[in-house]
Amino acid sequence: MADENVVKPYFLRIRDWKVRNMVMMYLEAREKFMSSRRFPFRDISVSYERLREISDILFGLKEDYHLIFKRALDPEKGKYEKSHKITPDEVEAEFMNNIGLLFHKVMVTRELKYSMEHYVEDSRDFQRSKDNLQYQQEKIAELFEHGIEIIRNLLRRYKDNILMLSYLIEEPSKIRRHFGRDAFSLLHEYLDDQGLDEVCFKIGKYFLKNGWQEKASKMFKETLKHNPQHVNARRELSRVASLASI
């Protein structure tokens, strides 16, 4: 009988890709929510259609998470289902908890919004529903805000995940909107002993391996910006130029 504690290699192979996609989807859901509220006008209610879009994204996130990570049976005691999936660490479990709470809060808000738009309540009940709607939206905003802090910790946890790092580099405006700083500044804060030159070089190699020569060239140039003496980056830059001339 196979040991249920042994993780199947498939889950380990796809983990970096799935985590990268989960971060991408999370930021997409957060952006849809925050843009709908037109901050700082916090009393503006998010539309039913937008809430449905957000709940669909969060549901997909939950499914992606449980494709590779074990489901929690007792989160407070750290008990998980028996399976060959990955047992989440503290940060990964916190991320899932945040996603799950968000999904259910958004579903409650979505149904509340629907009932207010399609059914007639007396004035007192309508005011209660309106107050509850506002409260739920505030809780969703708080959960999304906390989610950004969790993702910051995920960056440290997955500092060797080239797929994640390349995503941050490729979405500069989105990263600035969500984290209040550019990707390079964010990476510099969370990559500890890894210099930005090495991070950029690894991303460049990843791009080159996948045939994205223009992206690779840009990252090798970025490497040299952080470290003009980076011999390997100069070599790879020359290689990209040779490939482009063929």
CATH for 146:
1.20.120
Note whether 3 and 24 are same-domain residues. Answer: yes
End-to-end CA distance of the chain: 55
| Residues in a beta bridge with 79 | 74
Note whether 134 and 179 are same-domain residues. Answer: no
E strands along 78-204, which residues?
Answer: 79-80
Task: Report pLDDT digits (tens) over 27-36.
Answer: 999 999 998 7
Nearest Cα residue to 101 out of 34, 49, 55, 45: 55
Note whether 114 and 199 are same-domain residues. Answer: no
Q: Which range has the worst mean pLDDT, 16-20, 122-126, 164-168, 241-245?
A: 241-245
Structural contact between residues 33 and 54, judged by C-beta atoms closer than 8 angstroms: yes
Note whether 28 and 129 are same-domain residues. Answer: yes
Question: Which is more confident, 10 or 244?
Answer: 10
Note whether 64 and 108 are same-domain residues. Answer: yes
Neighbours of 10 (CB within 10 A): 11
Task: Provide the 3-class DSSP secondary structure of residue 111.
Answer: helix
Length of the chain in terms of residues written:
246
Structural contact between residues 102 and 56, judged by C-beta atoms closer than 8 angstroms: no
Note whether 10 and 69 are same-domain residues. Answer: yes
Note whether 175 and 151 are same-domain residues. Answer: no
Task: Report pLDDT digits (tens) over 90-116.
Answer: 999 999 999 999 999 999 999 999 988
Note whether 131 and 231 are same-domain residues. Answer: no
* Integer Rg of the chain from CA: 22
- Given this model, what pLDDT does residue 17 score? 93
Residue 42's domain comprises 1-158
